[in-house]
Chain A
Amino acid sequence: MIELQGVTRIFPNGVRALNNISLTINPGDFVFLVGPSGAGKSTFLRMLFREDVPTEGKILIDGKDITTMPESRVPYLRRNLGIVLQDFQLLKRRTVAENVAFGLRVVGASASVINTRVQEALEQVGLSHKRRMFPTELSGGEQQRVCIARAIVNNPLILITDEPTGNLDPMISQEIMQLFLEINARGTTVVMATHNHNLVNKLRKRVLALVDGQIVKDEACGTYAYE
């Protein structure tokens, strides 16, 4: 479970990116985070994987306050999270399989465990036949699927994703979204920031709308509209 209690983030330049946000996301939820650019969506997500910390308030993940967590414990928090960002963030000099294996290597998994889990993750995203290819040899949609495979290879409790379809055409976006739905169906909580009206309106999942750092809408089967 993710719980935000009065979270405020004020940057050193005085910008209030998040303003007194309190909410709860239950295990297995699928949550869309919508809002205009600069509304604070990315800051919200970055707080969840402790890339940033609130100026005020608390964030609890699975009952643990991650805002006061020492820096040395952050890697262990992230091993329970999957993170997929808009700009793919793949290592161009490594093969698909090596990119996916990265998440397992950092936890010191053995070669046999890595092989099995990488194969499973690639099968889930439909790319097991391209395991030896390099990211530059893949399409944008395929690259994003590799990122998803890397994010789920550790079986995370929560998948945090920022504009995962931002650079993709509508057809590919639907395929990617289908993948997230499948991952969510297996019990992983998904928190996704997006500008994609069509997908949000079509899927009718929980929608949190952020405007000027404040939650202006929290609907269980919501639509994209937030004005």
Chain B
Amino acid sequence: MSLANLNFFMSEAATNLRRSGMMSFITISTIGIALIMMGAFLLATMNMESFLYQMQAEALVTAYLKPEVSISDAKTLSLRLTSLDEIENIMVVTPEQAAKELFSNPDDQQLMQIGITPEENPLPTTLRMKVKAGTHLPPLLEKLKAEPLIDNFSYGEELFQQFQGLSHLLWVTSLVIVIMLGLASLFIVYNTVRLTLYMRREEIIIMKLVGATNWFVRGPFIVEGFIQGMVGSFLAIIVLFATYRFALGKLAELIPFFTASIGFEQMFKLAAKLFMMGLVLGISGSLLSLRDISRFSKSTPEGV
């Protein structure tokens, strides 16, 4: 494409956007609204992911060893497990220490009623493992399961699995909604471009008569789609992030310990994704409606 052509496309696109103001407004609004909704779902999903990440970072896995395991075996196992990448540190808790912890709390005196006494201690030796931040828990749990000295372990699995399930569900829902909204806005963009195409049919016929290629005719429309996608996504990003900030402020007022869990980098990535989606919507909507430009630009209908 020559510089002269690019200049022509840009000036044509700018003129056409100005002339068909209402159509441009509809297209930009459609792209903007679709992106706000897509962005809102993506934000919710990202927050959930981030929460799950934090949960994992603070995870404490407690492994209960088999009754026959001696303290020295437990310490050997602890040394071996400390070498794992996922483990931050390990504390070996003997049955006596566990019992002391229990009986240091006056409420736990009631435990005696169910057969636990300092003399007759059924508590197993335990390993309390602090997991390194960012560790994905399931592979570590698999390794622990394979240890013959470990009887069982706990890590707040129910809550963890619930959040993981919810996060997965949210991702799938987000994906479905993003695709549906994408298709719906593509359809609207397609139709508005199609309408402007009919409004400019005469111009297209003349372009073809004087020897314009199909791509030359498409050029200004593609630039228009690009500009509409860009403006739509900019507006969406501004509205979405302003609303998000406002919502975070309100939540912080309502819940004293609430803090935003998504960092600047993630927000920037989301903005970049929305921007790209806006461009794809604008350009592909234009391209789709221009696919049959040859048939559309005949100067007279066949048979006349």
Q: CB distance B208 to A75 under 8 Å?
A: yes
B115 touches A (CB below 8 Å): no
Closest CB in chain A relative to B17 CB, distance in Å? 14
How far, in whole Å, are A106 and B216 apart by their CA atoms in the complex? Answer: 7
Inter-chain contacts of A150 with B (CB < 8 A): 210
A106 x B4 contact (CB < 8 A) = no
Which residue of B205, B207, B299 is within 8 Å of A106 (Cβ)? B207
Residues in B whose Cβ lies below 8 Å from that of A46? 299-300
Instruction: Please give the distance in Å from A73's CB to the nearest CB on chain B.
Output: 10
Say whether A78 contacts B209, CB under 8 Å.
yes
- Nearest A residue to B294 by beta-carbon distance? A71
CB of B299 within 8 A of CB of A85, answer yes
Contact with A along B3-21 (1 / 0, CB 8 A): 0110010000000000100
Interface size on A, residues (CB 8 A): 33
A10 to chain B, nearest CB (A): 10
CA distance in complex: A85, B5 (Å):
26
Contact residues, A53-111 vs B (CB, 8 A):
71-72, 75-79, 81, 83, 85, 89, 91, 93, 102-103, 105-111
CA distance A51 to B211 in the complex (A): 12
Residues of chain A within 8 A (CB-CB) of B8 are 105
Q: Does A12 lie within 8 Å of B303, measured CB to CB?
A: yes
Q: Is B260 an interface residue (CB 8 A)?
A: no
- Does A15 make an interface contact (CB < 8 A)? yes
Which parts of A8-56 form the interface with B (CB within 8 Å)? Answer: 11-13, 15, 42, 46, 49, 51-52
Q: Is the Cβ of A52 less than 8 Å from the Cβ of B302?
A: yes
Q: At the interface, yes or no: B203 with Cβ under 8 Å from chain A? A: yes
**Residues in A neighbouring B304, C-beta threshold 8 A:** 42
Question: A103–B216 Cα gap in the complex (Å)?
Answer: 12
Known: A12-B302, A46-B300, A51-B298. A78 touches B5 (CB 8 A): no
For the complex, what is the distance from the CA of A108 to the CA of B294, rounded to whole Å? 20
With A91-B203, A108-B5 in contact, is A75–B213 under 8 Å at CB? yes
Q: Is the CB of B212 within 8 A of A106?
A: yes
Question: Judging by beta carbons under 8 Å apart, are A83 and B209 in contact?
Answer: yes
Are the CB atoms of A11 and B303 closer together than 8 Å? yes
Chain A residue nearest in CB terms to B207: A106
Whether A91 and B211, one on each chain, are in contact in the complex, defined by CB atoms closer than 8 angstroms, is no
Q: Are A109 and B4 in contact (CB under 8 A)?
A: yes
In the bound complex, residues from chain B placing their C-beta under 8 Å from that of A93 are 19
Contact A75 B212 (CB under 8 A): yes
User: What per-residue 1/0 map shows which CB atoms of A105-138 lie under 8 Å from chain B?
Assistant: 1111111000000000000000000000000000
The interface residues of chain A lying within 8 Å CB-to-CB of B212 are: 75, 106
Closest A residue, CB atoms, query B304:
A42
Note all chain A residues with C-beta closer than 8 A to B5.
108
Interface residues of A in 137-156 (CB under 8 A from B): 150, 154
Across-interface contacts of B300 in A (CB, < 8 A):
42, 46, 51
Q: How far is the CA of A15 from the CA of B304 in the complex (A)?
A: 10
Q: Are A78 and B298 in contact (CB under 8 A)?
A: no
Known: A51-B299, A71-B294. A102 touches B207 (CB 8 A): yes
- Give B2 Cβ to nearest chain A Cβ, in Å: 4
Look across to chain A and name the residue whose beta carbon is closest to the beta carbon of B212. Answer: A106
B211-225 residues at the A interface, CB under 8 angstroms: 211-214, 216
Cα–Cα, bound, A49→B208 (Å): 11
Residues of A within 8 A of B302 (CB): 11-12, 52
Query: Is B206 an interface position by the 8 A CB rule?
Result: yes
Q: Does B147 contact A (CB under 8 A)?
A: no
- The answer to whether A103 and B210 touch (CB under 8 A), given A52-B302, A108-B4, is yes
Interface status of B88 (Cβ within 8 A of chain A): no
Are B294 and A106 within 8 A (Cβ)? no
Closest to A114 in B: B4
Q: B209 contacts A91, CB within 8 Å?
A: no
Cα–Cα distance between A11 and B2 once the two chains are bound (Å) = 40
Which 8 pairs from chain A and chain B are nearest by CB? A79-B211, A106-B212, A78-B211, A103-B210, A11-B303, A108-B2, A75-B213, A75-B211
A-B contact pairs, 22 of them (CB 8 A): A11-B302, A12-B302, A51-B300, A71-B294, A75-B208, A76-B211, A78-B211, A81-B211, A83-B209, A89-B205, A102-B207, A103-B210, A105-B8, A106-B207, A106-B211, A106-B212, A106-B213, A107-B211, A108-B2, A110-B4, A154-B210, A154-B211
